[in-house]
């Protein structure tokens, strides 16, 4: 493990094996944006981490709703879904 100290933030090199086609796309994007391959990977990883953190937050929020009984009955959801596209569409369940 190699650590590098920048004045702004310590960094760590991470190695990953990726398919050649993905590596080629990274190289093309880096050239198009005039950025380094590392910059492209860092941006992609940052976006993925943010997405996963949000997914986890939403999952925990949903589990809290279930624990507190704030759920909608399956039959009510099914009736609502079945009504979509008909003349008698039901209100969105809340």
Q: Quote the pLDDT of residue 4.
A: 63
**For residues 28-40, average pLDDT:** 98
pLDDT tens digit sequence for 5-31: 656 789 999 999 999 999 999 999 999
Distance CA 92, CA 83 (A): 10
Q: What tokens appear for 91 in the block? A: 């209100």
Q: Quote the pLDDT of residue 70.
A: 94
Q: Quote the pLDDT of residue 2.
A: 61
**For residues 74-81, average pLDDT:** 94
Q: Which long-range contacts (CB under 8 A, 24 or more apart) does 4-10 make?
A: none
Q: Quote the pLDDT of residue 3.
A: 61
Q: Quote the pLDDT of residue 5.
A: 62
Handedness of CA 17, 2, 47, 39 (dihedral sign): negative
Asked if 35 and 44 touch (Cβ cutoff 8 Å), the reply is no
């Amino acid at each position: 493990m190699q650590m590098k100290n920048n004045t702004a933030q310590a960094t760590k090199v991470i190695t990953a094996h990726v398919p050649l086609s993905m590596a080629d796309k990274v190289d093309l994007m880096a050239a198009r944006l005039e950025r380094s391959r590392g910059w492209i990977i860092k941006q992609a990883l940052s976006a993925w981490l943010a997405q996963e953190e949000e997914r986890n937050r939403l999952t925990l929020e949903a589990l809290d709703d279930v624990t507190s009984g704030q759920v909608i009955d399956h039959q009510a959801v099914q009736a609502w879904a079945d009504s979509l596209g008909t003349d008698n569409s039901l209100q969105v369940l809340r």
